Amino acid sequence: MSTPKLIKPTESELEILQILWTKGLATVREVHEELAGIKDVGYTTTLKLMQIMNEKGIVKRDDSMRTHVYQAAVNKERTQKHLLSKMIDSLFGGSTTQLVIQALGEGSHKASPEELEKIQALLNDLKKQ
């Protein structure tokens, strides 16, 4: 069985995928309304992006009804792992330590106490293995 090819979604495609991963199924209008809440984007731009994503195999389109319904064709966790691996290699020289230090260090995305507890539990589990 061949493994599906890894996709490299653009930033705009990732924004659309986030919406589809959350909603499951959505029309272009629904996706556009979500996007318009976070950035200035035209409806036709959203439509064209989703058509391109369908051609790339990133989303699936059900065109059996008048209004086309889209869903993500790529797995969220697999995509996250692939993009994270690429980022660690290209931005942090392959060092997960540098990534974690940067992520947990200073910056606008400080970890909450609850997140730190989850991270500590993960570290404890990894040490036991």
pTM of the shown model: 0.77
Burial class (CB in 10 A: 0-12, 13-18, 19+), 99: middle
Do 58 and 106 have their domain in common? no
DSSP annotation string for 88-121: HHHHSTT-HHHHHHHHHSSSS-PPPHHHHHHHHH
Do 129 and 68 have their domain in common? no
pLDDT tens readout for residues 58-109: 999 998 888 899 999 999 999 999 999 999 999 999 998 888 888 887 666 7
Residue 31 to residue 17: CA distance in whole angstroms: 9
Residue 46: CA count within 13 A, CB half-sphere: 23
Do 12 and 64 have their domain in common? yes
Do 75 and 13 have their domain in common? yes
Do 62 and 76 have their domain in common? yes
pLDDT tens readout for residues 18-73: 999 999 999 999 999 999 999 999 999 999 999 999 999 999 999 888 889 999 99
Structural domain containing residue 129? 96-129
